[in-house]
Chain A
């Protein structure tokens, strides 16, 4: 098979796959940025005792 054919399929796979992954990652980051704003303030927990 011609290397050009393989290159064509590779370009499509990397192009669409890369775009899909970037969309999912950006979505996840946006959700992560939104969540802390909605969470009630976290109460300060007492620090664990030092182990001796």
Chain B
């Protein structure tokens, strides 16, 4: 299967999965005793945070591979940038959906809770990382310093995940407790939650593949623009 077809297949599966998640989440799953219909936010909010973690994990691994002399290649730098940008989109959506949850359950749009604060910090850290990538300079130097920044920013990811257990938090414990291997929902609710995790992960993969392509096209455009400028200069007799 060609790469284009694979990306299309991933995108189609992701779209179908998200539609199924919406249908199950909005119309099929039951209301919760404690939260009523608000529990339906559960099928989108944790999966946004999960995908953001996956995206930053990918940026971390790609940056590590770029910094490692034996595996150093521009594609790892490109992948790190693409993944981090998609991660920032998902972190933004985590903050907004979390804010909606906070307004309805805690009565406030925002509070300086450890989980919320560390998540906001994560958002700002990766925005800074994306800004750093845009600072002009020698491509190799930019890629190296961006890779180091990605490694530093990733330190906040486990802090966000464990913040609800490390500190007293308004936020309930994670619905999917990876450390304790425990799931706090069952039946159709657990299935919908699982489906949302898989579907949004596929959407992440599709978005990252397209962002990667865009980065490759922009690089080619810059290279060709440079070649064209050099040719013009040569024609003018400025360069030998």
For B48, give the chain A residue with the smallest CB separation.
A12
Which residues on the B side are within 8 Å of A31 (C-beta)? 217
Whether the pair A1, B40 counts as a contact (CB closer than 8 A) is: yes
Interface residues of B in 44-61 (CB under 8 A from A): 44-45, 48
A8 touches B37 (CB 8 A): no
Within 8 A of B (CB), among A16-32: 16, 19-20, 23-24, 26-27, 30-31
Count class of interface residues, chain B: 20 to 34
Of all chain B residues, which has the CB nearest A33?
B221
Residue of B nearest to A14 (CB): B93
Min CB–CB distance B204 → chain A (angstroms): 9
Q: Are A9 and B26 in contact (CB under 8 A)?
A: yes
Interface size on A, residues (CB 8 A): 22
A9–B217 contact, CB under 8 A? no
Chain B residues whose C-beta falls within 8 Å of the C-beta of A42 in the assembled complex: none
A37 interfacial by beta-carbon distance below 8 Å: yes
Q: In the complex, which residues of chain A have a beta carbon less than 8 angstroms from the beta carbon of B220?
A: 34
Q: Is the CB of A15 within 8 A of B93?
A: yes
Residues of B within 8 A of A4 (CB): 38, 41, 100, 103-104
B124 within 8 A of A: no
Q: Does B203 contact A (CB under 8 A)?
A: yes
Q: Once bound together, how far apart are the Cα atoms of A34 and B223, in whole Å?
A: 11
Contact yes or no, B203 A16, CB < 8 A: yes
B89–A27 CB distance below 8 A:
no
- Tell me the smallest distance from the CB of B240 to a CB of chain A, in Å: 24
In the complex, are the beta carbons of B221 and A7 less than 8 A apart?
A: no
Whether the pair B207, A8 counts as a contact (CB closer than 8 A) is no
With CB as the reference atom, state the residue of chain A lying closest to B224.
Answer: A37
**Distance of B200 from chain A, by nearest CB (Å):** 8
Also in contact, A30 and B214, with CB within 8 A (given A1-B40, A8-B44, A8-B100): yes
State the 7 A-B residue pairs at the shortest beta-carbon distance, nearest first: A30-B217, A23-B210, A5-B40, A8-B100, A8-B97, A4-B104, A1-B37
Measuring CB to CB, which residues of chain A are less than 8 angstroms from any residue of chain B?
1-2, 4-5, 7-9, 11-12, 15-16, 19-20, 23-24, 26-27, 30-31, 33-34, 37
9 contacts between A and B (CB under 8 A): A8-B44, A11-B97, A12-B93, A19-B86, A23-B207, A23-B211, A30-B217, A34-B221, A34-B224
| A5-B26, A34-B217, A37-B224 known, 5 other contacts, Cβ within 8 Å | A5-B37, A8-B96, A8-B101, A11-B96, A12-B97
